[in-house]
Amino acid sequence: MRDKLLGFLLLALPVLAFAASDDDWRLLQKVTDAGRQQSLSGTYLHQMNGMLETFHIVRAGGAGSVVERRVALDGLPREIVRNGENLTCYAPDKKSLVAAKISAMRLFPALMSDDVADVAQSYTLHRQGSDRVAQRDCNWIELKPHDQLRYTERICADQNSFLPLKMMTLTPQNEVVEQYTFTDVGLAAVHDKTQLRPQFKLSSQLRGPAVAVTSGGGDTHFEVSGMLPGFRLIRSVQRSPLLVAGGKPVRHMVFSDGLVMLSVFIEPLPSDAPASRSMNLHGAINMATMAQGDQLLTLVGDLPESTLSSLARTIHFAVR
């Protein structure tokens, strides 16, 4: 009996060490940082909407200087390159380029916001024991929202590097919306920089130079009311008319509750604007549109479709 108890304690030591290594929220920040900055090379599966995609990712890490390239191994050929804050899609043709833009909506393992300081306002963190993913020991963390308006996130983080090895997004009814899983991953530094260079010529920059940038807790043009609790404005830009159809500028505001991102686009109401609607775009990403006076609001984010549809009716933007 004594030998069995000793064996159990020895097996449990990695889990106990992980649990005692830091307080919960500082641990989550480490997981977030590793998900965005850790040097790595590996292959992962993306499951959602009854579909399965496979990607290979190579990343040269480092705070403020991350360069990564991911390549789709099945389906339409496409590449996504992140260089710091710049995000660019590459493909051999226009159809594949559209597919690349859709794939770039969520970039595992960097699915969370940079700073998790606000997460505790809207989520409860639970540790849920150990597991093994891609031949690496990991420990589960669950972020469960205080309300029924957001998804639950489960993360299995590597015991040594804190890199998310598997992530699951669940509805308020505990149904899996999408999940990402590494099948193999190495954490060595990337020395061959050619692995970071895109192979296709046709490209589209998704994040890059914008005009009239405003950051922080307010915006110089719009006053916001009716936003979901816990969300705050983190970025507001006015897109150049050259970037949008019809040549009319679009205000793009980004909100976050520390875990998920919510984009709100405000543009002049087109004469042929469709009636209000909501729809699923890709995995956990949903969209809702609503006319508000002479403006058209479009909300896009990794929130349940019912939440976005309701928010589109209650959120209000007024010019100051």
DSSP 142-178: EEEESSSSS-EEEEEEETTT--EEEEEEE-TT--EEE
Which residues of the chain fall below pLDDT 50? 1-22, 209-219, 241-245
Buried b (16+ CB within 10 A) or exposed e, 141-179: bbbbbeeebbbbbbbbbbbebbbbbbbbbbebeeeebbb
Q: Is 304 helix (H, G, I), strand (E, B) or coil?
A: coil
67-72 and 176-186 beta bridge pairing: unpaired
Is 299 in contact with 263 (CB distance < 8 Å)?
A: yes
SS3 assignment for 87-105: EEEEECCHHHHHHHHHHCC
CA distance 302 to 196: 28
Q: What is the pLDDT of residue 40?
A: 96
> Where do the structural domains in the chain lie, given as residue ranges?
2-203, 209-319
Q: What amino acid occupies position 157? A: A
Q: What is the pLDDT of residue 214?
A: 44
Q: What is the pLDDT of residue 267?
A: 85
Pick the CATH number of 2-203 from 1.10.3720.10, 3.40.50.10130, 2.70.98.10, 2.50.20.10: 2.50.20.10
* CATH fourth-level superfamily of 209-319: MucB/RseB, C-terminal domain (3.30.200.100)
Residues 213-232: tens digit of each pLDDT? 444 444 456 678 899 999 99
Neighbours of 101 (CB within 10 A): 17
Residues 202-212: tens digit of each pLDDT? 999 987 644 44
Only one residue has tokens 């150990």, namely 130
Alpha helices in 21-63 (DSSP H): 24-37
Q: Which two tokens stand for residue 304?
A: 């349940």
Q: What is the pLDDT of residue 243?
A: 42
Quote the pTM value.
0.83
Q: What is the pLDDT of residue 275?
A: 67
Q: State how far the alpha carbon of 103 is from the alpha carbons of 48, 147, 161, 296, 304, in Å.
A: 12, 28, 26, 25, 18
Q: What is the pLDDT of residue 219?
A: 46
Q: What is the pLDDT of residue 7?
A: 46
Only one residue has tokens 């029924």, namely 148
Nearest to 180, CA basis, from 112, 270, 228:
112
CA distance 17 to 172: 31
In the chain, pLDDT over 90 holds for what percent of residues? 59
